[in-house]
Amino acid sequence: NAGVMQNPRHLVRRRGQEARLRCSPMKGHSHVYWYRQLPEEGLKFMVYLQKENIIDESGMPKERFSAEFPKEGPSILRIQQVVRGDSAAYFCASSLGGGRTDTQYFGPGTRLTVL
Amino acid sequence: GQQVMQIPQYQHVQEGEDFTTYCNSSTTLSNIQWYKQRPGGHPVFLIQLVKSGEVKKQKRLTFQFGEAKKNSSLHITATQTTDVGTYFCAGLPSGSARQLTFGSGTQLTVLP
């Protein structure tokens, strides 16, 4: 019973490059959430997606960041032209439904380092 | 926007002592969830509280949700070294929003 999968687990990029983070939800889950965690801080909500739809992107920076969850394949968080301030752990979570009491299960995270 | 404050930020206890972390929201919550994150790990779901005044127990852990649904606490009795980690509360606001707002976490160190 595989949990939420994220890859890569660690990603190093130079300033100006692109970062692509992938998230495969738990089997049967169709709701995906992305969070960012800076060192010794809590998680900050970025975006909530269902298959082929962005439901809530109120936590996404207006520029350089985008997310998708296609009909087939994993959800992808894309960061263009990365800067040092993008260095953080990015966690994906999935839930079975989008109900308000649905539990979110977190993946192992992708730790992005921007040189 | 909604804010969730969590105290203390750090807590060192001797093994066997009790530990409590407190969570306060600036707005009424629909429900509150608690997570544990080990160093270098990811948040692991512990429990969800939905009802006003609700109390739930998991072995040595006791979770409470305030009557006004704006605060919550996690109490660990007789801590063990395996309890080490950061404990986060995460609140879901009343209304239509579905995004969890996480507290800043309480980092627990248990000294043997």
| Amino acid, res. B106 | T
Residue A26 DSSP one-character state:
P
Residues of chain B with C-beta less than 8 angstroms from the C-beta of A109? 42
| Amino acid, res. B14 | Q
Average pLDDT of the residues of chain A: 92
pLDDT value, residue A42: 84
Each residue of B54-63: b (16+ CB within 10 Å) or e?
A: bebeeeebeb
pLDDT single digits (tens) A81-103: 999 999 999 999 999 877 767 88
Residues of chain B with C-beta less than 8 angstroms from the C-beta of A103? 33, 45, 48
pLDDT single digits (tens) B72-108: 999 999 999 999 999 999 998 887 667 788 999 999 9
Residue recorded with tokens 């395996």: B82
Note whether A98 contacts B: Cβ–Cβ < 8 A: yes
The residues, ordered by sequence, that sit 6+ positions from B48 with a Cβ below 8 Å of its Cβ are A101, A103, B31, B32, B33, B34
Which residue(s) pair with B48 in the sheet? B33
Task: pLDDT band for A1, please (50, 70, 90 cuts).
Answer: low
Secondary structure (3-state) at A14: coil
**Continuous segment of H or E residues that includes residue A35:** strand A31-37
Note whether A105 contacts B: Cβ–Cβ < 8 A: yes
Q: How many CB atoms within 10 Å of residue A51?
A: 13
Q: Which chain A residue has the Cα nearest residue B46?
A: A103
Determine the distance from the C-alpha atom of residue B81 to the mean position of all C-alpha atoms in its chain, rounded to a whole number.
18
Q: Cα angle at B76 between B36 and B67, to 5 degrees? A: 90
* pLDDT greater than 80 at residue B1: no
Using the beta-carbon criterion (under 8 Å), do A43 and B88 form an inter-chain contact?
yes
Q: What is the spatial distance between Cα A24 and Cα A43, in angstroms, rounded to a whole number? A: 19
Q: Which one of A42, A56, A100 has the shortest CB-CB distance to B102? A: A42
What is the interface size between A and B, counted as CB pairs within 8 Å? 56
pLDDT value, residue B96: 64
Q: What is the spatial distance between Cα B7 and Cα A90, in angstroms, rounded to a whole number? A: 24
pLDDT value, residue A5: 96
Q: Which of B31, B34, B37, B42 to mutate to test the interface with A (most CBs of A within 10 A)?
A: B42
* pLDDT greater than 90 at residue A2: no
Query: Is residue A50 within 8 Å of A30, Cβ to Cβ?
Result: yes
Which of B54, B86, B93 is CA-nearest to residue A39? Answer: B86
Q: How far is A18 from chain B (nearest CA, A)?
A: 24
Q: Cα angle at B61 between B59 and B62, to 5 degrees? A: 115
Secondary structure (3-state) at B83: helix
pLDDT value, residue A103: 86
pLDDT single digits (tens) A34-73: 999 998 788 999 999 998 899 999 999 999 999 999 999 9
